[in-house]
Structures are given as C-alpha cells and as structure tokens.
Structure 1
Amino acid sequence: MKRRTFLQATAGAALLPGALFAQDKYPSKPITWISPYGAGGSADSRARQVGKLMSQILGQPIIIDNKVGAGGNIGTEAIARAKPDGYTIGMGNFAPLAVNHALFKKINFDPVNDIVPIMLIEKGPLILTVRADSPFKTVADIVKAAKASPGKLSYGSGGIGGTHHLSGALFEHVAGIDMIHAPYKSGSAAATDLLGGQVQMMFEQMYVAVPGVQSGKTRAIAVTSKTRSPILPNVPTMAESGFPTFEVLNWQGIVGPKGLPADIVKMLNAAGNKALQDKDLRQKMLDQGNEIAGGTPEQFAALIKAEMPKWGKVVKDAKIEPE
C-alpha cells in the first residue's frame, strides 16, 4: 500500500471538524467591544476596564468601539446585526434593553430575540438629592409639598427616557404627585442647575452624587436600591421612606448577537466572571456605590425580561416620548 506523505495526512486531517477547530481555536484574533455610549462615560469606562482584564484572560486584544446615538439604540443595533462569531460583542445597557422598546416608536432590534446576554457586570442605584439648604429633609416632605402645590416642584434629568427621568416619573406615579420634569443635555448640566436652584431635586447616579453629598453641597434624601448603600449608610431607601415597590437600578452587562454559539458564550461568561474578581476593579465599582454582579447568561436574560414590562408601563403611564 502506498504510504501517504506528511503533508497529505495533515491536509486530510484539516478537513475534519475537530482538527479545524483546533487550528482556529477561539479567540484567534482581536475582539471588538461595542459601547453604545460616548467615550469617557460610565459605560465606556467600565467597558475598557472589564475589556482589558478579559483580553488578558482570553489572550487577544479587546478593542472598544463607541457607536453612540438614539439613546443607545445605534450601538445596540450594531451588536445585534454583527456576525455571531464571537469577534463582536458589546455593552448591554438598561435603556436600550429595557426601556427604548416602549419609548421609541420603532427600534431596529428586538432586545429579547436579537441579543444574547452573556453576563451582567453591575447594578447601580441612584440617590434622590436636593440642595443642602433645601427645606426638604425626607421623601415625605417632598410629597407633602408636591401635593400642596401640584405642578410646581421640578426635578432635573440628563435627558428624556434616562434613569434620572424614569426615576422621577416612577416617583410621581407611586406617590400620586404632579411635578415638572426638566430635561437637560447631560446629567452634569442638570446637577449644575440643581446647585443653582433652578430645579428642586434630582435622582442622580450614586457615583456622581456622592462627592456633592460628602462635601455638603447637596443633601441625600433617599437611595433607589432595596437596601441601603454602604457608602451612605445613614440614607434611607425609597422603600423605607414609604414606597415599598420603588426600586431603580441602572445596570449594564456583556451581550452578543443572536446565534452566538453556546461554547463561545460560555467562554466569554467565564472570562467576564474571572475579570470581576480583580481587586482593583471591584474596589472601583464599590467606591461608586455599585453592586458587583457576574453570574450566568440565564440570570442576565431573566433580569432583562423582568425589567422590560416594568419600565414599559412607566413610560406608558407617564406618556413619555423621545426628544
């Protein structure tokens, strides 16, 4: 029998699925991580921090690509439309995955069917803040004043449909009060006018609000998580303040496009969970008042499915429309 040469043997083996996979083991080239928000923001910063650690674990560079606009819809659609080979993943954020389906008349992706959850990174509560010289010291004080003068008190936000706005809309709904929503181009612009007295209150991201509270420029009235924050242990929750169903957490995690193979999802999930064990990263997240998440793809999927109807109802009840 004629003996095959080494090249003939290896060429034949390369046609076998197992051998092909072994030669092209994932990941074998750089991974693109799409962030639906601008450079320097919280989503972008966290993507870079987690992406750097995951690239070390996976042995390939992870390149952050900011695709901004339409409340996060543009970047999220780019994730949904990407080739499901594991080389394009992205940040899945609260607004485009749980709110925008109700807020916008049309979005070009289905948050449930076009997006594959990989791992939840974190949840972040907000703080209801007022100026340090405000007469309001409790949630009850605000509710009493709002009921006495409907449509007079105002709350600032970084724009229509964001967590600042939705927190205020939910507060109005559960408390049965009528306030003025004052949307700004950014959260920092709203915070500036809060200090200037142009608006009376604001639900602000904890990592942004804490410095002002600690410096005495603002007063923290309540936190929107179910439990008190270890950063501000003396500040009650909205639930403790008389509204047991009130909870708002701004969350974000890693997602991929529909059709992403289960073994790649598993590998990325494992790398993401390992990255979250990094001491420096954990300290940064905790210092910002965030809850470190991690866990399985199924747990992240369950969160998205639970949040969608909740915020869809808030948007509908408050008659919120995009700018």
Structure 2
Amino acid sequence: MNIDRRLLLASLASALPFAPARAETWPDQPIRLIVPFAAGGPADIIARLIGRVMGEQLGKPMVIDSRSGAGGAVGVEAAARARPDGTTLVLASSGAIVILPHIMPSMAYDPLKDLTPITQVLAVPQIISVRPGLGVSSVRELVALAKSSPNPLTFGSAGIGSSLHMAGELFKLRAGVDMTHVPYRGAAPAVTDLLGGRIDVLMADTPALISFVRSGQLPALGVTSAERIAILPDTPTAIEGGVPNMVSETWYGLLGPAGIPADRVAKLHAAAMAALADGDTKAQLLNQGGRIVGSSAADFTAFIQQTHATWGEVVRATGVKME
C-alpha cells in the first residue's frame, strides 16, 4: 500500500467519529394497541377513534388487539410483558391500574413499576340514579333515606371490584351510610334491574344511563365528577349534593411496557395529542359522556400514583375483596 493510500484511509477513519448519526426512522412497523375489553364497548370505541389519527401521525397503522378478561387485567398484563420498543400499547381503564391491584394481590404486574404512562385520554364520571318510585329526587334526599331506612338500601354494580362497585363503596364511605352491594355481570343487567325496581341505587358510567335519563325513565340525582358535565349541565355533582370528596371516574389512558425510550414516548404522546385535537374524534369522544384529558406523561404518572393510593385507602376501609 503506497503512502498516499494510507493517508487517505487514515483521513477517512479519523473523520468517522465526527460523522452525524443517521436519524432513527421509527416506528418501522404497525403498532399494536391492546384493548382489554370486548369489542364494541367504550374502550374499543375510544381505541379505534384515537388509533386512526395516531396511525396517520406516526405513518404506521394502529392495529387493535382485543384481550378481554379479569376486568381488564389480562390485556394490561400482555402489554406489561411486551418488548419495550413502543410498538405495543394498551388502552387501559382505571380499574385494572388503580383498583384491581388492591383487591387481587396476586396480579402478575405492578402498575406502578411495570408500565410506561403516555397520556390519560378520557375521564367518564358515574351518574347516580335510583329506581322509579324510591321517592328521592336529590343526592341529599338519597343520603337522608339511606340513613333513616330500617333496612339498608341496595346498590348494583358491574361486578366485584368494578369501577361502579367502588363508586358505591366510596359513596358509602363519604356519605356515612350503609348500603348492600348487589354485583352483576356487567352494567346492562344492573340497569335492567334498576328499571324493574329490584335494586334501589346504581352509580353507572354516563354512557350506560344517559339514554334512560334523557327519556325520563330514570332520574339523574348527581354525577361523581368534580364539576358538572357538558351533557348534563343541570345535574349537580355529588359534592354539591353534600357528599364531600365524592369524585369517582372511570378513566381511560394509553400505557406501554416499562422502559420505552423517552424519545418514543414523546412521539407517541404527540400523536395522541393530535388525535385528541381532531374535530371528529373529539366530538365522538365527548359523546361518551366524559371529558377529554390529554395529560403529559409526567402528569399521568403522578395521577396514577395518587389515585392508586386513594383507592387503596378505600379498599382497606371497606374491606372489599374478590370472592
């Protein structure tokens, strides 16, 4: 090798460390969005709405993967065990993240350690309703009746440990009343029995009750959000009705497995924000009866920690456990 060629190779080698790195092209494959509930339900609807716009923003489609079971825990566990490269996400609901871990201690994931929060998407409060003929028209009157009744009133839910169940337990705790829990397999049969007068009280997510409220079949005594909601502006909150700190919402959020690189979290978050700002998506999400949140990853992480602690206190105070 002559001297000129050696000099040329040395010059090229010395320049390599200073050559700019090529920008990462990511995602380079479709993103799997796990929905931990059956197709056609609120979580599935929300996932498809935001997934469409997120896919457009990211340049790769969001593929819906339904993994129902154990109140959402099956799907969340699948996400927690996935490779942390940002290509597997879950649209989880509050139950599997901040409630079930306290009443199912044998769960295979720790929501505070095994997941990467990206953003809280939507928060849906419960409507407090009662059976026709119960004789109360406000939260204050319901509390007074519950305190004076010789036999405990009954309240229904979508199952032990569900958001609806825990809303009822929180109401009992905050109002200082006793009511007997009647669990159902889902909200629909509980609504049916409320209409039929077989249970006294039901606190159900807005979409489950709004049509019956609008038709006059069931009353809306109050809502469990901190503020009144847009689709029921004349319905007071439970706090306005005299029940302090009565805030219970079923929320939905995007999370992935722990360890997703920060730049990919930022890219996923930006795509989610674009979805929540999309006019059609926004309108359809609001039609679910809640409020759009769109929190930062840091704020969502702090929110999960805070509500996880709150529901842990409620579970310990009420003794709720899976049977």
User: Is TM (by shorter chain) over 0.5?
Assistant: yes
1:158–1:184 contact (8 Å) kept in structure 2:
yes
Alignment of 1:244-263 (within 5 A): 244-263=244-263
Match of 1:189 in 2: 189
Match of 1:281 in 2: 281
Q: What do residues 177-226 of structure 1 show as CA deviations (whole Å, max 9, x unaligned)?
A: 11111100110010000000000110011122111011010000011011
Q: What do residues 143-201 of structure 1 show as CA deviations (whole Å, max 9, x unaligned)?
A: 22222225431111111111111111111111221111110011001000000000011
1:119–1:255 contact (8 Å) kept in structure 2:
yes
Match of 1:18 in 2: 21
1:124 aligns with 2:127: no
3-state SS, counterpart of residue 233 of structure 1: coil
Instruction: Give the TM-score, by structure 2 length.
Output: 0.92
3-state SS, counterpart of residue 202 of structure 1: strand
1:150–1:177 contact (8 Å) kept in structure 2:
no
Larger Rg, first or second structure (1 or 2)? 2
1:132–1:216 contact (8 Å) kept in structure 2:
no
Equivalents in 1 of 2:312, 2:165: separation in Å?
A: 14
User: How far apart are residue 270 of structure 1 and its match?
Assistant: 0.2
3-state SS, counterpart of residue 218 of structure 1: coil
Matched letter for residue 162 of structure 2: G
User: How far apart are residue 244 of structure 1 and its match?
Assistant: 2.5
Alignment of 1:68-87 (within 5 A): 68-87=68-87
Count of residue correspondences: 311
Match of 2:9 in 1: none
Match of 1:317 in 2: 317
Matched letter for residue 183 of structure 1: P
3-state SS, counterpart of residue 84 of structure 1: coil
Alignment of 1:217-296 (within 5 A): 217-296=217-296
Alignment of 1:124-143 (within 5 A): 124-143=124-143
After TM superposition, the runs of 4+ consecutive aligned structure 1 residues lying more than 6 A away are none
3-state SS, counterpart of residue 142 of structure 1: helix
Match of 1:49 in 2: 49
Q: What do residues 222-241 of structure 1 show as CA deviations (whole Å, max 9, x unaligned)?
A: 11011111211221111111
1:40 aligns with 2:40: yes
Equivalents in 2 of 1:84, 1:77: separation in Å?
A: 13
User: How far apart are residue 2 of structure 1 and its match?
Assistant: 5.5
Match of 2:171 in 1: 171
1:131–1:217 contact (8 Å) kept in structure 2:
no
Equivalents in 2 of 1:26, 1:267: separation in Å?
A: 9
Equivalents in 1 of 2:34, 2:21: separation in Å?
A: 31
1:172–1:17 CA distance, 2 compared to 1 (3 A): farther
3-state SS, counterpart of residue 76 of structure 1: helix
Q: What do residues 62-96 of structure 1 show as CA deviations (whole Å, max 9, x unaligned)?
A: 11111121221111111111001111111132011
Equivalents in 2 of 1:145, 1:277: separation in Å?
A: 44
Q: What do residues 10-58 of structure 1 show as CA deviations (whole Å, max 9, x unaligned)?
A: xxx9xx9933x54xx1111111111111111111111111111111111
Equivalents in 2 of 1:227, 1:67: separation in Å?
A: 33
User: How far apart are residue 132 of structure 1 and its match?
Assistant: 4.1
1:97 aligns with 2:97: yes
Match of 1:58 in 2: 58
Query: Where does structure 1 lack aligned partners over 5 or more consecutive residues?
Result: 4-8
Equivalents in 2 of 1:300, 1:150: separation in Å?
A: 44
3-state SS, counterpart of residue 246 of structure 2: coil
Equivalents in 2 of 1:220, 1:134: separation in Å?
A: 13
Matched letter for residue 45 of structure 2: S
Equivalents in 1 of 2:38, 2:302: separation in Å?
A: 27
Match of 1:204 in 2: 204
Q: What do residues 242-272 of structure 1 show as CA deviations (whole Å, max 9, x unaligned)?
A: 1221101111111111110000000000000
Matched letter for residue 18 of structure 1: A
Equivalents in 2 of 1:99, 1:17: separation in Å?
A: 48
Query: Where does structure 2 lack aligned partners over 5 or more consecutive residues?
Result: 7-11
3-state SS, counterpart of residue 300 of structure 2: helix
2:161–2:320 contact (8 Å) kept in structure 1:
yes
Equivalents in 1 of 2:57, 2:310: separation in Å?
A: 36
Match of 1:30 in 2: 30
Instruction: Give the TM-score, by structure 1 length.
Output: 0.92
Aligned sequence identity (%): 38
Equivalents in 1 of 2:144, 2:205: separation in Å?
A: 25
1:153 aligns with 2:153: yes
